[in-house]
C-alpha cells in the first residue's frame, strides 16, 4: 500500500499544493494537484505500471513527460471521452477518469500477456506470413480485436462542441520555449501581427523543466516577464495547450487547441495563414535500444527532469543514468539537488570532459560503458552494465547495479516534423548526430533547438538573429533586443549510439515502444529485402501511428545503416506526416456535422412542403425538394402514380424554383449565347424562347435549357437545376478568359425568380381562375414564349415551356411572393382537383416523353447525335464551343451508344437504373445501360430509356438486361412513349 503522493517533493515544482484534484485510473481513486498531468499525478502516487504493449502485452510504464511518450496511451472516460491519449499530455481535472489500453482486465493482470510466450512466433509482419490460408480475412477480426489501441468513444459526448476557425498573422511562432518567446517578443515589438502557439499548459518549454537561470534569477521569472509584455500587446495572440500539427501550402498551419475557452467548446482547430512561420518546436530526446529497455521504470532523462522540476515528483529513489551525450550531466545535477540518489552514471562515450564531471562531483561515472539489460518483472529492479566492446581496455565483465529508475538519453533530435511538412529539406548533422533543417520551401524559419542550437545562449541568439532578419524581409523595422544573461553551459557533445548489442538473439531491444518493434524486427526486415527505409517502416510499423517515431525513428535508421554498412545520410528519413499528435476528427471538421454536414438549399415554399407531408430529399445542386406527397397509407409508387396521373388527366403544381436562371445583358449578349449553344439564336424574336444545348470543349453535353429574349441585348437563360453553378462558371470563364473584350454581363437570378409550374390539360383554366392579365390563348401566348404581367395580383414572368409533355405555365414571381402565389394556387386549384407533385412524378412524366435528364441520359459520355437530337446542331454557325471536338468524334469510325426506349417482356417488371445490357444477357462486355425505368401511368406498364450501342438501327430487337440474379428481356423502341407529335404541350 502506498501513501498518496508518496513520491511528491515537499517543495518546488509548478503545481498548486493547495488545490488537490481527485481522479480515477483503472478504477482506483487517487489525488493529484492542480498543474499536474495524469502521468505526473500517477508517478507521484507511485503508479508505475500504466499500460501493456501493443503486440506482446509486456508491462509498460511512463517513459516521457509530454508528446514524446511512446509507451503509455490511455482512454479517457465519461465526460472527457477520448481514445488514445498519451498519458503525459492529459491535464488533470477534477473527476477525471482514465484507463489503460492494450490490456484486459488491467495492466497488472493482463490475460493477453500470454502473447509473450509465443513472441518468437510473432515477429514483424507475422500476420502476412502466418495467416495466408485459407484466407487472411478469416483471422483479421480476431487479430484486430487483440491488437489496436483504444476504441472509439461509444456514446456521444455531453460536451461535444467542436469548432474550427481561421486566423491570419504576419508571424506565427510555433513553440513558446526560450526561442519562441524571444522571437514572438521581437516580432511584437516591431509591430507585426503575431500569433504564438504552444502545446504545453504553460509557456516556457524547457525553461520550466530544468533548473536554469536567466538574468540571475530562476528562468520562470523571465518567462513571466516576457508573457506579461506579450499579453499586453494588442497585436499578439497567444494560444496555450494548442498543437500545430499540420503545415500546408502557402503557409497554412493547422493548430488545435485542446482546452479552449469558452469551456463549452471542446476542441478548436485554427487554420492559420501566416506570412512567415517560425518553427521553435525544440528537440526531442531519444531512447536507446538495449535488452528489456521497455520495463517500467526506464524513462527518458529529460522526462525525469520535467517530473522533478515542473511537477515536484521523484519517480524513483535509486537512479542509474545511461546516456551518450553531455545533457545527462546537467540533468543529474538537478536530480542531486532534488535529493535523488544517483547510483551510477553510465556514459557510452570514451571520455567525459571535466566540465561535465564537475556538475556531479560525487556521483560514480562509468565511462565507455553501456547498459546491457534491465532486470525486474513489472518494474525495474536493476541493470546489467558492461564496458563497451570497442573500448581499448577490453574488459567484458558485467556488473549488476540495483536501482528502481533508469534515466536514458540517446541524444537529441530537433523536432523537424512541422518543418518537414512544409516541404523544407533536412540534412544529417554528424556533429549533433541528428537531422536538422536544411533548405526552406516556404516562408519558414527554424530557430533554437529545432534548428540544432542546444545551449540556452545559442538558442536565444539564434532566435533573435533569425527573427530580426525575417522582420526585415516582411517590411518591419526590427527593434533592438537585449539578450538576457545566461549561465555558462557545457557545450553539447555526443557520441552516436543507435543500439546496444544483445547477448542472445531472442532478447528484445525495443526501437519503437508503441508499436512493439525490436532491433531484431529491423534486422528481419533487412534480411527479407525491406531494407529501404520506407519499406522497413511499413514492414515493421516502426514510427507509424500515434508515435510518429519521435523517440525511436533515428535509432531505426542508425540500425539499418549499421547493418547494411551505409551511412545515415544515404538512408535519409521517412516522411513526417500530420497530424503531429492525435487530433479528433471532430476538431478537424469543426461545426460541420448533423444538419449542416452537407450544404442544403431551400425554396420559398420548403416549409409549406414540409408542413404538407412532402418527403424531402436532395434533387441536385444541394436543393432539398419534395420527392412526393404521400396521402394516407399510400406507398411510394401509389403516390407517384397519383401525382403523374393528375398531370396527364387534370392539373398539378410543381415547385420549379431551383431551375438555374441567368440574365444576360449587353451588346455582346447574343454573341455569348451563340458561342455557348450549338444552335442559333440570331433570329430569336422578342418574348420568344428556344431550346439550346451546351457542349464542353470536348464535344460532350454539359447542359440544356431554354433561353428567352426579353429585350434588345437582353436574354433570360434557364439551365438545369443540377448544373446551374457549373454553367455559370463555364460562361464566366469564357467571358473572362476567352473574350474579355466582349460587353456581356451575366447576373444570376435563380433565387430572384421563384417558380410555380402549372402543368396538365387544365393548367390554362387554373391560370384564368387565379386572375391573369396575360392573354393565355394559344395563338397569343404560344409554346416556347414568355410574357410579363400579373398572376394572382403578383408581378410575374410566365413561360410556356414543358418538361412533362403537357400544357404548362411556369409562373415566375419574386421569391418573396412565391408563398402567397403557392397558397393561392392550392386554394384556387382545389376546384380543378389540383395537387402538388414532387420530383418523382416529374421524372416519370419526362421519361414517358423521352426528355433528357442530366445525370441519366446526359452522363458526360454522350453527344447530341447519340441522343437523337442532332437537329440542335446548327450547320450554319461558324462556331460554338465543342464544335470541332464533336466533328472529330462523329468522323471516327465505330459504334456509338444511342438513346432508345425499352419495353420489358413482362410489363410489370421494373429495371434498376444503371443496369447493364449485354449480348444475350451473358457475362460479356456491356453494350449499353438502362438510364431510366418507370411505371408509366398513361401506358399502364413499365417503360424505360437506355443507351444502346447503335440503338437506333436496332428497333424491335430484343435486348437483355443482365442483373446479378436474373436476365430481363426487353424490346427496343423509340424513346418516346406519350404524345410523340407533341400536340399536348403546344395546346
Partner 1 sequence: MIHYNVTLERQKLCTVVELQGPMQEVADLPGLLPPEFPSTPNTYEKSPDSDKTLYWIGPQRWLLRAALNQEAELKRLLAEQQLPDAVSAVLVSDSLSFFKITGIDASAVISIASPLDVHSSVFPDNGASYTEAFGLKALVIRCDTGTSKGFEVVVERSYTDMLYDYFQRAIGTST
Q: Does 623 bind partner 1 (CB under 8 A)?
A: yes
Q: Rule CB under 8 A: is residue 658 a binding residue for partner 1?
A: yes
- Residue in 262, 361, 529, 925 binding partner 1, rule: CB under 8 A: 262
Question: Torsion angle of alpha carbons 300, 304, 305, 311, nearest 10°?
Answer: 140
Residue 275 binds partner 1 (CB under 8 A) = no
Residue 660 binds partner 1, judged by CB under 8 A: no
Identify which of residues 46 and 657 has a Cβ nearer to partner 1 in the complex: 657
Cβ at position 268, least distance to partner 1 in Å:
9
Residue-level length of the chain: 987
Window 19-38: residues binding partner 1 (CB under 8 A): none
Please report how close the Cβ of residue 600 comes to partner 1 at its closest, in angstroms.
5
Interacting residue with partner 1 among 91, 273, 493, 563 (CB under 8 A)? 273
Instruction: Please say whether the dihedral angle defined by the alpha carbons of residues 778, 783, 789 and 793, taken in this order, is positive or negative.
Output: positive
Q: Could you say which of 99, 161, 493, 563 contacts partner 1 (CB under 8 A)?
A: 161
Q: Which of 475, 667, 782, 860 binds partner 1 (CB under 8 A)?
A: 667
Q: How far apart are CA 801 and CA 763, in angstroms?
A: 12
Strand-pairing partners, residue 20, are: 33
What is the nearest approach in angstroms of partner 1 to the Cβ of residue 590? 7
DSSP H/E element including 304: helix 301-309
246: contact with partner 1 by CB under 8 A: no
d(CA 930, CA 948): 8
Binding segment toward partner 1, per CB under 8 A, in 382-390, 412-420, 591-599, 827-835: 591-599
Rule CB under 8 A: say whether 665 interacts with partner 1.
Answer: yes
Instruction: Cell numbers for 766, please give them.
Output: 387554373
Q: Note whether 820 binds partner 1 by CB under 8 A.
A: no
* Max Cα–Cα distance, the chain, nearest Å: 115
Question: Smallest distance from the beta carbon of 551 to partner 1, in angstroms?
Answer: 36
b/e sequence 834-846, b meaning 16+ C-beta within 10 Å? bbbbbbbbbbbbb
Q: Which stretch binds partner 1 (CB under 8 A): 90-98, 465-473, 584-592, 947-955?
A: 584-592
Q: Which stretch binds partner 1 (CB under 8 A): 42-50, 521-529, 601-609, 927-935?
A: 601-609
Q: Tell which one of 28, 132, 168, 884 touches partner 1 (CB under 8 A).
A: 168
Is the CB of 711 or the CB of 982 nearer to partner 1? 711
- SS3 label, residue 829: helix
Measured from the CB atom, the residue of 563 and 743 that comes closer to partner 1 is: 743
| By CB under 8 A, residue 596 contacts partner 1 | yes
Instruction: Give the number of other CB atoms < 10 A from CB of residue 914.
Output: 12
Query: Minimum CB separation from partner 1 for residue 765, in Å?
Result: 29
Shortest Cβ 605–partner 1 spacing (Å): 12
Residue recorded with cell 516541404: 423
CB of 576 to partner 1, least distance (A): 26
Count of residues interacting with partner 1 (CB under 8 A): 48
Angstrom distance (rounded) from CA 148 to CA 52: 12
Q: How far apart are CA 387 and CA 399, in angstroms?
A: 9
- Give the Cα separation of 344 and 365 in Å (integer): 6
Give CA angle at 915 (909, 919), nearest 5°: 95
From the list 644, 642, 770, 541, the residue with the least C-alpha distance to 54 is: 541
Task: Say if CB 423 and CB 248 are below 8 A apart.
Answer: no
d(CA 1, CA 831) in angstroms, rounded, equals 88
State the nearest-atom distance from the C-beta of 747 to partner 1, in Å.
4
Listed ranges 97-105, 389-397, 479-487, 711-719: which one lies at the site for partner 1 (CB under 8 A): 711-719
The reply to whether 213 sits near partner 1 by the rule CB under 8 A is no
* Closest CB 688 distance from partner 1, rounded Å: 18
Choice between 752 and 874, CB closer to partner 1? 752
The set of cell numbers assigned to 455 is: 545551449
Binder of partner 1 out of 601, 952, 969, 986 (CB under 8 A): 601
Residues 712-741 that bind partner 1 (CB under 8 A): 712-714
Alpha-carbon gap, residue 608 to 822, rounded angstroms? 9
Nearer to partner 1, 100 or 657 (CB): 657
Residue closer to partner 1 by CB (options 461, 668) is 668
Nearest-angstrom CA–CA distance, 282 and 302: 13
Among 128, 600, 636, 686, binds partner 1 (CB under 8 A): 600
Q: Strand, helix or coil at 111? A: helix
Residues 962-981 that bind partner 1 (CB under 8 A): none
Q: For partner 1, which is the closer residue by CB, 434 or 756?
A: 756
- Cβ-Cβ contacts under 8 Å for 964 (sequence gap 6 or more): none
Going from the C-alpha of 63 to that of each of 304, 313, 343, the distances in angstroms are: 9, 14, 20
Which position among 398, 591, 768, 788 is part of the footprint of partner 1 (CB under 8 A)? Answer: 591
- Would you say 43 or 583 has its CB closer to partner 1? 583
Residue 309 CA: distances (Å) to CA of 13, 210, 334, 938? 5, 6, 8, 86
Per DSSP, the three-state class of 298 is strand
By CB under 8 A, which span of 129-137, 810-818, 866-874, 907-915 interacts with partner 1?
810-818
Cα 755 to Cα 426: distance, rounded to the nearest angstrom: 61
Compute CA distances 103 → 108, 110, 475, 909, whole Å.
Answer: 9, 5, 57, 56
Does 602 contact partner 1 by CB under 8 A?
yes
What 8-state DSSP symbol labels residue 772?
Answer: B
Residue 547 CB-density burial (10 A; 0-12 exposed, 13-18 middle, 19+ buried): buried
Q: In terms of CB distance, is 259 or 457 closer to partner 1?
A: 259
Tell me whether residue 316 or residue 658 sits nearer to partner 1 (CB atom): 658
Answer for the pair 220, 210: CB distance below 8 angstroms, yes or no.
Answer: no
What whole-number distance in Å separates Cα of residue 780 and Cα of residue 260?
68
Residue 893 lies near partner 1 (rule: CB under 8 A): no
Residue 164 binding partner 1, by CB under 8 A: yes
Q: Which of 181, 219, 221 lies closest to 197, judged by CA?
A: 181
Q: Of residues 12, 130, 163, 535, which one binds partner 1 by CB under 8 A?
A: 163
Residue 439 neighbours by CB distance under 10 Å: 9
Grid cell listed for 553? 525513428
* Nearest CB to partner 1, comparing residues 649 and 752: 752
Check residue 711 for interaction with partner 1 (CB under 8 A).
yes
Binding test (CB under 8 A) with partner 1, winner from 146, 167, 615, 885: 167
Is residue 603 part of the contact set for partner 1 (CB under 8 A)? Answer: yes
Within 738-777, the residues that bind partner 1 by CB under 8 A are 743, 745, 747-754
Residue with smaller CB distance to partner 1, 118 or 600: 600
**Helices of type H across 205-273:** 206-209, 219-231
Grid cell 461545426 in the structure block, residue: 591
Stretch touching partner 1 by CB under 8 A, among 42-50, 206-214, 467-475, 813-821? 813-821
**C-alpha cell of residue 857:** 441520359
User: Which is nearer to partner 1, 241 or 713 (by Cβ)?
Assistant: 713
In this chain, which of 148, 487, 599, 914 binds partner 1, going by CB under 8 A? 599
Q: Does 475 engage in binding with partner 1 (CB under 8 A)?
A: no
- For the CB of residue 821, give the shortest distance to partner 1 in the complex, in Å: 13
Task: Map the footprint of partner 1 across residues 505-524, applying CB under 8 A.
Answer: none
Write the CB contacts of 171 (distance below 8 Å, at least 6 apart in sequence): 183, 184, 187, 192, 193, 194, 195, 274, 275, 276, 277, 278, 467, 470, 471, 474
Positions touching partner 1 (CB under 8 A) are 161, 163-168, 193, 262, 264-265, 271, 273, 590-592, 595-596, 599-603, 606, 623, 657-658, 663, 665-667, 711-714, 743, 745, 747-754, 814-816
Amino acid at each position: 500500500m502506498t501513501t498518496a503522493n508518496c513520491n511528491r517533493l515537499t517543495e518546488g515544482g509548478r503545481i498548486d499544493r493547495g488545490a488537490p484534484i481527485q481522479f480515477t485510473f483503472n478504477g482506483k481513486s487517487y489525488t493529484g494537484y492542480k498543474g499536474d498531468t495524469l502521468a505526473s499525478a500517477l508517478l507521484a502516487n507511485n503508479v508505475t505500471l500504466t499500460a501493456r504493449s501493443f503486440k506482446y502485452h509486456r508491462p509498460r510504464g511512463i517513459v516521457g513527460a509530454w508528446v514524446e511518450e511512446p509507451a503509455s496511451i490511455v482512454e479517457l472516460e465519461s465526460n472527457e471521452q477520448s481514445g488514445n491519449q498519451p498519458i503525459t499530455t492529459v491535464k488533470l481535472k477534477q473527476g477525471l477518469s482514465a484507463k489503460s489500453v492494450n490490456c484486459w482486465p488491467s495492466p497488472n493482470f493482463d490475460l493477453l500477456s500470454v502473447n509473450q510466450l509465443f513472441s518468437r512466433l510473432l515477429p514483424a509482419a507475422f500476420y502476412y506470413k502466418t495467416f495466408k490460408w485459407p484466407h487472411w480475412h478469416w483471422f483479421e477480426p480476431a487479430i484486430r480485436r487483440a491488437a489496436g489501441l483504444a476504441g472509439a468513444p461509444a456514446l456521444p459526448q455531453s460536451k461535444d462542441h467542436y469548432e474550427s476557425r481561421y486566423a491570419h498573422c504576419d508571424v506565427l511562432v510555433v513553440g513558446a520555449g526560450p526561442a519562441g518567446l524571444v522571437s514572438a517578443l521581437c516580432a511584437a515589438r516591431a509591430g507585426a501581427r503575431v500569433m504564438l502557439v504552444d502545446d504545453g499548459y504553460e509557456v516556457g518549454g524547457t525553461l520550466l523543466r530544468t533548473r536554469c537561470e536567466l538574468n540571475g534569477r530562476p528562468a520562470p521569472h523571465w518567462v513571466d516577464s516576457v508573457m506579461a509584455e506579450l499579453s499586453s500587446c494588442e497585436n499578439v495572440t497567444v494560444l496555450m495547450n494548442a498543437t500545430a500539427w499540420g503545415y500546408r501550402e502557402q503557409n497554412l498551419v493547422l493548430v488545435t487547441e485542446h482546452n479552449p475557452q469558452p469551456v463549452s467548446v471542446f476542441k478548436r482547430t485554427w487554420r492559420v495563414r501566416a506570412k512567415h512561420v517560425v518553427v521553435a518546436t525544440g528537440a526531442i530526446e531519444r531512447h536507446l535500444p538495449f535488452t528489456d529497455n521497455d520495463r517500467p521504470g526506464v524513462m527518458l532523462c529529460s522526462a525525469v527532469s520535467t517530473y522533478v522540476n515542473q511537477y515536484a515528483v521523484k519517480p524513483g529513489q535509486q537512479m542509474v543514468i545511461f546516456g551518450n551525450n553531455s545533457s545527462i550531466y546537467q540533468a543529474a545535477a538537478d536530480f542531486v539537488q532534488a535529493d535523488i540518489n544517483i547510483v551510477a552514471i553510465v556514459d557510452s562515450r570514451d571520455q567525459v570532459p571535466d566540465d561535465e564531471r564537475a556538475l556531479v562531483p560525487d556521483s560514480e561515472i562509468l565511462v565507455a560503458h553501456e547498459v546491457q539489460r534491465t532486470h525486474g518483472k513489472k518494474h525495474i529492479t536493476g541493470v546489467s552494465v558492461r564496458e563497451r566492446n570497442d573500448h581499448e581496455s577490453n574488459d567484458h565483465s558485467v556488473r549488476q547495479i540495483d536501482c528502481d529508475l533508469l534515466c536514458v538519453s540517446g541524444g537529441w533530435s530537433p523536432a523537424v516534423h512541422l518543418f518537414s511538412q512544409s516541404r523544407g529539406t533536412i540534412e544529417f548533422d554528424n556533429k549533433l548526430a541528428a537531422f536538422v533543417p536544411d533548405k526552406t520551401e516556404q516562408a519558414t524559419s527554424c530557430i533554437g533547438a529545432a534548428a540544432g542550437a542546444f545551449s540556452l545562449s545559442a538558442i536565444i541568439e539564434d532566435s533573435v538573429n533569425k527573427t530580426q532578419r525575417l522582420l526585415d524581409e516582411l517590411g518591419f523595422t526590427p527593434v533592438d533586443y537585449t539578450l538576457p544573461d545566461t549561465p555558462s553551459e557545457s557545450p553539447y557533445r555526443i557520441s552516436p549510439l543507435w543500439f546496444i548489442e544483445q547477448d542472445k538473439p531472442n532478447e528484445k531491444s525495443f526501437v519503437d515502444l508503441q508499436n512493439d518493434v525490436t532491433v531484431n524486427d529491423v534486422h528481419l526486415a533487412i534480411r527479407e529485402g525491406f531494407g529501404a527505409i520506407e519499406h522497413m517502416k511499413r514492414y515493421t510499423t516502426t514510427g507509424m501511428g500515434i508515435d510518429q517515431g519521435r523517440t525511436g525513428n533515428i535509432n531505426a535508421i542508425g540500425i539499418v545503416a549499421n547493418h547494411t554498412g551505409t551511412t545515415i545520410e544515404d538512408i535519409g528519413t521517412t516522411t513526417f506526416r500530420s497530424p503531429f499528435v492525435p487530433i479528433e476528427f471532430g476538431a478537424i471538421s469543426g461545426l460541420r456535422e448533423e444538419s449542416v454536414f452537407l450544404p442544403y438549399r431551400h425554396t420559398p415554399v420548403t416549409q409549406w412542403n414540409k408542413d404538407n407531408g412532402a418527403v424531402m430529399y436532395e434533387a441536385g445542386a444541394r436543393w432539398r425538394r419534395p420527392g412526393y406527397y404521400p396521402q394516407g397509407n399510400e406507398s411510394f409508387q401509389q403516390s407517384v402514380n397519383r401525382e403523374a396521373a393528375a398531370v396527364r388527366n387534370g392539373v398539378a403544381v410543381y415547385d420549379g424554383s431551383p431551375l438555374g436562371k441567368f440574365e444576360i445583358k449587353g451588346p455582346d449578349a447574343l454573341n455569348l449565347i451563340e458561342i455557348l449553344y450549338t444552335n442559333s439564336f440570331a433570329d430569336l424574336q422578342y418574348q420568344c424562347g428556344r431550346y439550346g444545348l451546351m457542349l464542353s470543349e470536348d464535344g460532350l453535353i454539359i447542359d440544356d435549357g431554354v433561353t428567352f429574349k426579353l429585350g434588345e441585348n437582353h436574354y433570360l437563360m434557364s439551365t438545369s437545376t443540377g448544373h446551374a453553378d457549373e454553367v455559370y462558371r463555364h460562361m464566366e470563364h469564357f467571358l473572362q478568359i476567352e473574350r474579355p473584350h466582349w460587353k456581356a454581363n451575366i447576373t444570376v437570378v435563380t433565387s430572384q425568380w421563384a417558380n410555380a409550374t402549372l402543368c396538365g390539360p387544365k393548367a390554362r383554366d387554373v391560370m384564368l381562375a387565379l386572375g391573369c392579365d396575360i392573354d393565355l390563348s394559344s395563338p397569343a401566348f404560344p409554346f416556347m414564349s414568355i410574357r410579363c404581367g400579373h398572376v394572382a395580383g403578383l408581378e410575374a414572368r410566365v413561360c410556356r415551356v414543358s418538361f412533362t409533355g403537357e400544357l404548362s405555365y411556369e409562373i415566375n414571381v419574386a421569391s418573396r411572393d412565391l408563398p402567397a402565389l403557392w397558397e393561392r394556387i392550392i386554394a384556387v386549384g382545389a376546384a380543378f382537383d389540383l395537387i402538388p407533385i414532387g420530383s418523382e412524378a416529374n421524372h416519370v412524366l419526362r421519361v414517358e416523353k423521352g426528355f433528357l435528364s442530366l445525370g441519366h441520359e446526359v452522363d458526360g459520355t454522350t453527344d447530341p447525335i447519340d441522343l437523337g437530337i442532332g437537329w440542335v446542331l446548327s450547320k450554319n454557325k461558324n462556331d460554338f464551343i465543342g464544335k470541332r471536338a464533336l466533328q472529330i468524334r462523329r468522323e471516327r469510325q465505330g459504334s456509338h451508344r444511342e438513346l432508345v426506349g425499352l419495353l420489358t417482356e413482362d410489363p410489370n417488371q421494373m429495371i434498376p437504373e444503371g443496369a447493364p445490357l449485354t449480348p444475350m444477357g451473358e457475362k460479356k462486355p456491356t453494350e449499353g445501360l438502362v438510364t431510366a425505368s418507370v411505371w408509366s401511368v398513361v401506358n399502364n406498364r413499365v417503360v424505360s430509356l437506355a443507351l444502346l450501342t447503335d440503338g437506333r438501327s436496332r428497333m424491335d430487337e430484343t435486348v437483355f438486361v443482365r442483373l446479378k440474379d436474373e436476365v430481363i428481356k426487353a424490346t427496343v423502341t423509340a424513346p418516346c412513349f406519350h404524345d410523340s407529335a407533341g400536340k399536348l404541350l403546344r395546346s
